[in-house]
Each structure stands twice: as C-alpha cells, then as structure tokens.
C-alpha cells in the first residue's frame, strides 16, 4: 500500500515516523539543522486539499516537536518553514513542510524580533506583540478570528503578505491560515508563497515566551519569468506597491468569506 511505498522510498531519521490518514513525515536528505524533518500530504495537489486534510498536515510538526522534546528537554525552539512551487524556491512541486527544532535560538529575522521584544519589555514593561497588534488594530489593519488575528503590517515585504498572531497553535489559527491560502489561490490568482511558523517555547516555564507568529509572503506571478527578488529586495529594502489600507479591506473581506465557507 501507500505506506509501504513511502516507507521504502523516503528517507528516515532517528525519530519515529509520524503518519496519519492524510499525511506523513520523512527525513530531509539535506538538513540545515541538527533536527530537520519533512511533512507531506498524501494528496500532492495543494489546491485540492480540503480543510480537514490541511489541518491534518499542520498537526504533524507539533507532534514531531513534542516527540523530540520528550527525549531532549533542551530542544525548545520549534520552527516550520514552507516554500510552495519553484517560483518560491521549492525543490519539488508537491507541498512539503520543513520542521526544525534546536536548543539555541530561532532563526534570523524572527530571532531579531524576539530579542527586540525582550528589549522593549525591559524598557517599557509592555508586551511588544500586544502593542504591535494594538497599533495595527487602531489603524483598521487587523482581522480577528476567535483567538487569532491577521495583521496587515505597515511594513509589508510583498503585496498581500500577512502576519498571523495567536496565543496557541489551535484550530482557529489553522482555519485562518487555510482561509488566507484559499483567498490567494481562488480569489487573487496567487499561487507561489513562502511561509514561516514560529511556535512558542515548548517549555512554558521559560522567560520571554512568544506567541505563535506566522508570516505568509506571496512570491510573484506564477506565469511570469521575472523573479520577485532583485537588488532592491536582496541588498536594499522590500518592495510592496499596494496601499495597505486598501489591502486590509480587500483581504479581510475575502478571508471572512473563506472562513464562512468552513462553517
């Protein structure tokens, strides 16, 4: 059957394979961290994934993180990275999520944000992520869904990029992420994207614990030969051309419609 096929033809790491009715895990042949796993849906067309199949796929990384943390309590920095389609830098057409966890730090940009949040708290005694959300909410650049919020940042990296914040990686967060992607695919004709999910420390007794922080960035027109990154993005600044207030109004309406369809 299918399990025997992927068991025989995908790599295996030291951790136990995770498999469900809709998804499975496999090792990465070219890991960039000490613990690096892949998570794949059995259905290879992301545009055809139902919400239940999507939720199932998104449940695998957290199971894997907890599995590794139970063996090594120092592993505390869980990250999910996902590039979809070649235009976004993916090595394969089929969707595959990267999960990594280490004992030292988060990666690059987000570690800078986390350290900045710690500095902000020391200076002001206020929570940076709460104030970041409040500021954008005052400007009508947010959309709240249960315990999660979409933020249309004042400093976007690309047109239609979104940030999602939540206290926990629960069903409301997954619903919101699914609705964002469905809006990209079916309403805006946006297909390639890059996505990161930074999850809170698994050890909740650690100081400086973060919220769930998700960033989704569209990666350009799938039909265009032109790259979405030039010297401007690589060596200078990010390039977004749309008015964020118009983007907020448009995207919020699309996302709400997609959320309503899930009910």
Assigned domain for 119 exists: no
CATH number at residue 52: 3.30.428.10
| pLDDT value of residue 50 | 97
Tens digit of pLDDT for each residue in 14-41? Answer: 556 788 989 999 887 777 788 999 999 9
Integer Rg of the chain from CA = 18
Last residue of a domain, one of 50, 71, 104: 104
| pLDDT value of residue 114 | 94
| pLDDT value of residue 2 | 46
Q: Tell me: do 87 and 35 sit in the same domain.
A: yes
Q: Tell me: do 94 and 215 sit in the same domain.
A: no
Q: Which of 1-5, 155-159, 175-179, 245-249 has the lowest mean pLDDT?
A: 1-5
HSE-up of residue 55 (Cα within 13 Å, Cβ side): 13
Q: Tell me: do 100 and 167 sit in the same domain.
A: no
What pLDDT band is residue 234 in, cutting at 50, 70 and 90? confident
Average pLDDT of span 48-53: 96
- Report the chain's mean pLDDT, rounded to a whole number: 90
Residue 56 has pLDDT above 70, yes or no: yes
Q: Tell me: do 189 and 223 sit in the same domain.
A: yes
Angle CA(190)–CA(196)–CA(197) in degrees, nearest 5? 125
Assigned domain for 115 exists: no
Assigned domain for 120 exists: no
Tens digit of pLDDT for each residue in 78-134? Answer: 999 999 988 888 888 889 999 999 999 998 889 999 999 999 999 999 999 999 999
Q: Tell me: do 15 and 91 sit in the same domain.
A: yes
Q: Tell me: do 142 and 236 sit in the same domain.
A: yes
List Cβ neighbours of 205 (8 Å cut-off, separation of 6 or more): none
Q: Tell me: do 63 and 3 sit in the same domain.
A: yes
Residue 208 has pLDDT above 80, yes or no: no
Last residue of a domain, one of 104, 135, 166: 104
Structure tokens at 30: 């070219």
What one-character-per-residue DSSP string does the chain give?
-HHHHHHHHS---SSPP-B-SSEEEEE-SS-SSSSEEEEEESS--GGG--HHHHHHHHHHHHHHHHHHHHH-TT--EEEEEEEESGGGT-SSSS--EEEEEESS---HHHHHHHHHHHHHHHHHSS-HHHHHHHHHHHTT-EEEETTEEEE--SS-SSTT-EEEEESS--HHHHHHHHHHHHHHHHHS----EEEEEEPPPSSTTSTTPPPEEEEEEE---TT--S-S--HIIIII-----S-HHHHHHHHHHHHHHHHHHH-
Q: What is the pTM of this model?
A: 0.92
User: Domain containing 62: what range?
Assistant: 1-104
What is the number of domains present in the chain? 2
What pLDDT band is residue 13 in, cutting at 50, 70 and 90? low
| pLDDT value of residue 61 | 96
End-to-end CA distance of the chain: 34
Q: Tell me: do 88 and 135 sit in the same domain.
A: no
Q: Tell me: do 83 and 54 sit in the same domain.
A: yes
Assigned domain for 110 exists: no
């Amino acid at each position: 059957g299918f399990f025997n096929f992927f068991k025989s033809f995908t790599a295996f790491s030291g951790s136990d394979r995770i498999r469900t009715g809709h998804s499975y895990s496999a090792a990465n042949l070219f890991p960039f961290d000490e613990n690096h796993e892949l998570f794949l849906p059995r259905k290879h067309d992301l545009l055809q994934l139902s919400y239940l199949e999507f939720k199932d796929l998104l449940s695998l990384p957290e199971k894997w993180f907890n599995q590794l943390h139970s063996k090594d309590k120092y592993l505390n920095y869980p990250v999910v990275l996902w590039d979809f389609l070649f235009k976004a830098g993916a090595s394969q057409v089929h969707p595959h999520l990267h999960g990594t966890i280490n004992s030292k730090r988060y990666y690059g940009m987000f570690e800078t944000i986390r350290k900045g949040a710690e500095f902000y708290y020391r200076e002001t005694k206020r929570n940076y992520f709460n104030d970041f959300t409040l500021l954008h909410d005052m400007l009508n650049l947010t959309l709240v869904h249960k315990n999660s919020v979409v933020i249309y940042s004042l400093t976007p990296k690309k047109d239609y990029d979104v940030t999602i914040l939540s206290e926990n990686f629960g069903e409301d967060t997954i619903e919101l992420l699914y609705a964002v992607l469905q809006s990209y695919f079916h309403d805006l004709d946006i297909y390639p994207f890059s996505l990161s999910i930074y999850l809170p420390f698994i050890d909740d007794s650690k100081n400086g614990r973060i919220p769930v922080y998700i960033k989704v960035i569209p990666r350009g027109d799938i039909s265009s030969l032109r790259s979405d990154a030039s010297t401007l993005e690589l060596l200078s600044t990010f390039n977004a051309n749309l008015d964020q207030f118009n983007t907020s109004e448009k995207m919020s309406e699309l996302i709400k419609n997609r959320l309503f369809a899930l009910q």
